[in-house]
A and B are shown apart, each in its own frame.
Chain A
């Protein structure tokens, strides 16, 4: 297993007025043998980043490296394997489970292939006899296990898991998460685990990176990021996560009605700090903080705690809560 690193990765789609910078100069390292959780809302660019890594979308600039060596050819990129969100769409409905997995195996004899497919199915807690089933005969959770087995069949250096539990029912989501955690520990996998769900990311990750409008706004050890977030967006995400024992009436900073604005468009991101129009400690609540609307905090991020893209990252984020 190796280390995956993004260096200034930028992905831009379209041109003219419809142009969209989905990923904007992302620096992120996934250390060998660890799980990095990437969390963000829809449109934050987290899935695009994964697709750029495996070459499904072209990068506009920046470098993606495996152990320092840039990934250039298709062969290079095969050392990364992506597991997709929807297991109903990611398996060919006309191929048996065994055929789908075998396709990813390289240079083996037929008999060796069958044995390897059986081994992989067992690895993901499926009956090897399932190799002859068509995907339509499997449940969502089982399909997602097959998708994981196929990814592992290619003997990847890094696995990218893109919202792999979002399409599953809540009652099977847990078993897939258990499997991911278990596989990672047994095989020492390097995983970039992408999800919009902070609780899910927290459960599997060693490191958490938070993405907002194409940029990583905070990254650090999972416990540290969750217990003392350094970016107000992370704080907002934490406060919004529905949890038992947290009532809607318990106000959080982001509930301030002054922040009740339209979400910014990724086609036309705000100037300065991209979060300033929704920020509970930004210019909307503290008019003296004009710097947020004027100066991009991204360049100073590496020197701040948790590489936070916030001018006020060192400020303690325990804030007074606005009266309702």
Chain B
């Protein structure tokens, strides 16, 4: 964790308060015994067991000693013992936790097993056990609390070490000949440092509390020495006479314990996911960019999807907003198959989610016009949108492994659609689910409907996902990378299934993919996205005449089974821009061989051929060579 992150932890009000409190406690621990150490020992036979007086604000104890001074002076001992116990705990825990990574397989497993067994027992039980062995007293209690905390700290280290060990860079270091100890020192420990620091801080808080507990029980610090726990135990007996005698040390323990715990938590929060704020972006942001926005092509007649100047924004971590989707225009006619192609970060999936009203909660979606299956979803209450779109739009997601609820039978998950939207009974809905599974050629659908998702292979699950979309009669099927997680032979089956479904139901299909060849196989029209915008759209048959340099580079850089092996592949220099930091004008210009000064102004989509539009100041006109000729010839 970098210096910035530490600072961020302290900027957080809770973190700052906790840190300030700890500094105060540290000062007290140093100063209090020097200033008031003797006064706190002074007995006053004239003021035994008093309540609050002007001389003794918190009263006196049974020997007439001032309780407030004793609480202040006890800071050093209480903190010191707790930190000592924490140190023991952390050292023992790290040793035990790292051992399995250094030892051989068998010995490592023994250590892990022992730690697992010890972790099952609550820390207090272990502390009592060790307190018996090490004897009643401060020394025994330090050892007891330190060792009692060691197993859970060791477990934490082990979990983190195991997670890091499983990563490729550790395997790579091992293959490069890095020895075990260097591996631990250079690769494992530095990469688990953050959770360890956080937990050690929290551990210090709990050690403090545990120590107070043991002393309170009379098992920790023994008289004449005293810490907060001891003072609390003594005070509790007289709580009816002088409540302050019990409450003051109690408050001290709670405050100090909280300071450690909250500091740990605020560090953890900074290290972990930064909480995003849900706000509306300023309107000016959008208006500025709206000038060059892509608008939907003017299409007469009916459409199943129209999006005009669609923008999806997220609050940026450093303030302001970023727009992964930045003015997209998209039109889909009934029964049409449209492919959206782009690299990761092009905004293609987010475009699909946004038009389906499924964008993440933190996203801000705006559009000049948005119509899905004849419904204008904006401005309507959520429940109405659900009702209107429920039977009209079906989604197929990328990863069939994670897109089904693992704890629900597949048939039930399918049947749910009909039960909710058409109010059918359980039996009738399940019968339809079985029927739809049969439609997508899942073998033995009756049996399969009663299985859980994990009993399906990836391909079968993706078929079931398509079947789920067919539970009602959708007008639009949006398939977001539906074959990316699948093997190539299964990919063909799923694509063919989508094609069949499209032919049978007449639904329009929007296929999102990074693979232009996949899109070309299924779709009639291709929309190419780059950096949150549409850069070109054209009929599949005209891919050979692609006009935008990015589309052309994409086509030429991917080898297929006919690529000339003797020639280097075409490449695109550089990398796609980060949404937070897109160049002015044409986003592709920095990677484009044809870019010039004109490209500093953002190009809008303009017709370059019938049914073909490109957002480029220098559209190419000569046809691309080789296979693509076959393509345009073979299709028409």
A residues with CB within 8 A of B: 41-42, 54-56, 74-75, 77-78, 80-82, 84-86, 89-95, 100, 103-104, 106, 139-141, 147, 150, 153-154, 169-175, 177-178, 181-182, 196-200, 202-203, 226, 236-249, 254-255, 257, 260-263, 278
Contact = CB atoms under 8 A, between A and B. Distances in A.
A178 B554 CA distance: 15
B559 A200 contact: yes
Contacts of A200: 559
Given A82-B172, A245-B634, 6 more contacts: A41-B488, A55-B175, A172-B572, A173-B557, A248-B492, A248-B499
A86 to B, nearest CB: 6
Given A104-B176, A150-B176, A245-B634, A181 B568 contact: yes
B172 A84 contact: yes
A78 B175 CA distance: 6
A191 to B, nearest CB: 15
Given A56-B175, A81-B175, A240 B559 contact: no
B318 interface: no
B489 A170 contact: no
A80 B172 CA distance: 11
A278 B635 CA distance: 30
Nearest to A260: B441
A278 B492 CA distance: 14
Interface string B538-575: 00000100000000011001111111010011111001
Given A41-B489, A56-B175, A171 B554 contact: yes
Nearest to B498: A248
9 contacts: A41-B488, A94-B191, A170-B514, A175-B569, A203-B563, A203-B565, A244-B627, A244-B631, A257-B441
**Chain B interface SS verdict (over half):** helix
Given A86-B168, A240-B492, A244-B631, A170 B554 contact: yes
Contact of B561 (A56, A86, A150, A241): A241
Contacts of A246: 521
B515 A92 contact: no
A106 B571 contact: no
Contacts of B499: 248-249
Contacts of A202: 559, 561, 563, 565
Interface of B: 167-178, 186-187, 190-191, 343-344, 441, 443, 457, 459-460, 487-493, 495-496, 499, 514-518, 520-522, 543, 553-554, 557-563, 565, 568-572, 575-576, 627-628, 630-631, 634-635
A199 B496 contact: no
Contact of B168 (A84, A198, A254): A84
Contacts of B628: 244
Contacts of B491: 240, 242
Nearest to B517: A242
A171 B173 contact: no
Nearest to B440: A260
B559 A199 contact: yes
Contacts of A249: 499
B553 A171 contact: yes
Contacts of B496: 248, 255
Contacts of B174: 56
A56 B573 CA distance: 35
Nearest to A92: B169
Interface centre among B174, B178, B522 (most CB of A within 10 A): B174
Query: Chain A CB within 10 Å — which of B457, B491, B516, B561 has the most?
Result: B561
Contact of B576 (A169, A241, A278): A169
Nearest to B174: A56
A84 B562 CA distance: 27
A237 B492 CA distance: 10
Contact of B560 (A74, A103, A199): A199
Of A77, A93, A140, A246, the most chain B CB neighbours within 10 A belong to: A246
Contacts of B187: 92, 95
A173 B177 contact: no
A172 B575 contact: yes
B171 A56 contact: yes
B557 A171 contact: yes
A197 B496 CA distance: 19
Which 4 interchain pairs have the tightest Cβ spacing? A104-B176, A174-B569, A174-B557, A90-B168
Contacts of B176: 78, 81, 103-104, 150, 153-154
Which of A81, A100, A103, A106: most chain B Cβ within 10 A? A103
Nearest to B569: A174
Contacts of A203: 559, 563, 565, 569
